[in-house]
Amino acid sequence: MSKDGHVKSEISKNGIATIEFGHPASNSLPSKVLADLAKTISDVSANSVTKVIVLKSSGDKAFCAGASFDELIAIKNLTDGKRFFSGFANVINACRKSDKLIIGRVQGKAVGGGVGVASAVDYCFATISAEVKLSELAVGIGPFVVGPAVERKIGLSAMSQLTINATEWQSAEWAREKGLFAEVFDTVEKMDAAVQALAEKLAASNPDSMRRLKRIFWEGTEQWDNLLKVRAGISGELVLSEFTIDAINQFKKK
């Protein structure tokens, strides 16, 4: 794997598109990976060959560690901060605007932005190792950008629990009960078999029906282009605070 991370995609003959992102630091998401991921989701969605999308990360450990701490600590002004957090907004909006159903595959822990990615897909599979945590408040920020996607998926009460208890993991079963995960498996192999089975069923389904259903599923989010930009600005401002800088440096030392 490249030290800068990667995003790659392929489309099978029956129209199942697989998009994979990865980064050596527990599949964290620096700006370039975020930009590549948003663009790939949009490009693959626009491809007439694509019938359904599977979104996954590389490796067999963490699904996604969220924002890159190295990049966070390097932010020195509001413009750069807003630009960085807009990367997460663009990924969520790419999933929202796609007219193809997106299946998520979560093989391990998801933190912060990783929970946001899992919330932005339309149907999410996971393993028992897929614990979740919104750790942003612990470093002085907050899940402002991913919050709307998480809240839409699991409700305000569960989202606020994750947000407030920012240092504690919640189990994959908790996430299933709240609606983030549709199904949880005890092995990756069983999960992958289920992902493939559903992808094949959807690839053989009526594309127009799925497109119209997708639009209905995301009703009420039409203002997210602007909303998530505003939220990115909030995070971009908070990341410049002395509290956040000190907190991130402490996390990096662990």
Provide mean pLDDT across the span 143-152. 98
Provide mean pLDDT across the span 119-143. 97
pLDDT at 149: 98
Residue 2's pLDDT band (boundaries 50, 70, 90)?
A: confident
Whether domain 6-187 has CATH 3.90.226.10: the reply is yes
pLDDT at 221: 98
Residue 251's pLDDT band (boundaries 50, 70, 90)?
A: confident
Separation between Cα atoms, residue 80 and residue 92, nearest integer Å: 19
Separation between Cα atoms, residue 233 and residue 106, nearest integer Å: 29
pLDDT at 208: 98
Contacts of 8 (CB under 8 A, 6+ apart): 19, 20, 40
pLDDT at 95: 98
Provide mean pLDDT across the span 210-235. 97
Residue 5 DSSP class: -
Q: Is the pLDDT of residue 3 over 80?
A: yes
> Tokens 């606020």, residue?
160
pLDDT at 45: 98
Q: Is the pLDDT of residue 253 over 80?
A: no
51-75 tens-digit pLDDT: 999 999 999 999 999 998 889 989 9
Provide mean pLDDT across the span 171-179. 98
100-109 tens-digit pLDDT: 999 999 999 9
The torsion defined by the Cα of 230, 105, 57 and 97, in degrees rounded to 10, comes to -40
CB 49 within 8 A of CB 13: no
Residue 115's pLDDT band (boundaries 50, 70, 90)?
A: very high
Separation between Cα atoms, residue 185 and residue 133, nearest integer Å: 19
Separation between Cα atoms, residue 167 and residue 6, nearest integer Å: 28
Over the chain, what is the mean pLDDT? 96
Ordered by start, the domain boundaries in the chain are 6-187
pLDDT at 24: 95
Q: Is the pLDDT of residue 225 over 80?
A: yes
pLDDT at 70: 87
Q: Is the pLDDT of residue 250 over 90?
A: no
Transcribe 51-88 into DSSP letters: SEEEEEESSSS-SB--B-HHHHHH--SHHHHHHHHHHH
Closest CA to 215 of 120, 101, 51: 101
pLDDT at 170: 98
Residue with the bigger pLDDT between 133 and 3: it is 133
Provide mean pLDDT across the span 205-218. 98
> Tokens 């009526």, residue?
206
Q: Is the pLDDT of residue 182 over 90?
A: yes
